[in-house]
Every structure is written in structure tokens, then in C-alpha cells.
Homo-oligomer: A and B are copies of this chain.
Amino acid sequence: MGSSGEHDVEQLRARLNDYMTRHGLRSTEQRRVVTEQFFASDGHLSIEDLLDKVRVEEPRIGYATVYRTLKLLKDCGLAFERHFGDGVSRYEVAWEDEHHDHLICLECEKIIEFEDEGIEVLQREVASKHGFKLVRHKLELYGVCPDCQRKK
């Protein structure tokens, strides 16, 4: 529950340490708490979500610190920032081996993750057709989930 499942957290720590060393950054207690809570989370966290988790462990952590730490994780490629309709940024762990897209219910805001290799192949074709070197992509399907269809 809330754990990292089968993913390799150790690898994330290593990548982070490596990045911090290379950039002369310091490993503080706050950073440890924020990053560990983040790595142990599933799904798409807002700053507030993460701050709540972090404060259970270390109530004095300020909220600029969470922003700054997530910016750091974003910069070293360990977190993805997402913007779904509302005005809030949400963050997601960038597991080395995983890529998925999102299927979002317009009524109950439920978010389902999926992967589809066929789509990925076609995306690479589109990119190369335009001479682009593809780095990443974002695909979001918006619709009405089975539960909400039933409710009508």
C-alpha cells in the first residue's frame, strides 16, 4: 500500500546522488524525507499531497522546500510534471523502465494508466516523418468511465 511495488527505488537514489554530486548539491534531512516520500508514492501527487505526507514525518518542513525539491527531481529526470485540467501541477515518479499514458474520466476525475506499444510505434513514425528526434510524449484520453456511464 503506497509502496513502490516492484520498482527499483535504489536505482532512483543512486541517480539522484550522482546528480547531486556532479552539481555540488547537498544531501539534507529535508531532501531525504521529501524524496523518499515521493519515491514511495503511487500516482500523481500535487505539492500539497506530498507536503501532507512529508509533514507526518517532519512537521517543520516548509512548502517552498517541497517545490524546490520537486524541481530538483524534475531537473534530474526522476519526476515528471503533469498538468491535467485544473490549475495544479502534479508529479509522478519517473521509473526507469516504465512509460504510460493516461485515460481520464471527465466526470469523476478517475485516472487510469495504460501502455500501448502500437501507439508508441506510430508516434515514432510520425516524428521521424517530420525529421524530429523524439524525446518524450504525452498522451491523454478523456472520456467517461464505465461507472459514470452507468450512473446516468
Contact = CB atoms under 8 A, between A and B. Distances in A.
Contacts of A140: 137-139
Given A130-B103, A130-B114, A123 B141 contact: yes
A139 B138 contact: yes
Interface residues of A, number: 31
A146 B126 contact: no
A76 interface: no
Contacts of A127: 103, 141, 143
Interface of A: 83, 103, 105-106, 112, 114, 116, 118-119, 122-123, 126-127, 130-146, 149
Question: 4 tightest A-B contacts by CB?
Answer: A131-B146, A132-B143, A134-B143, A133-B144
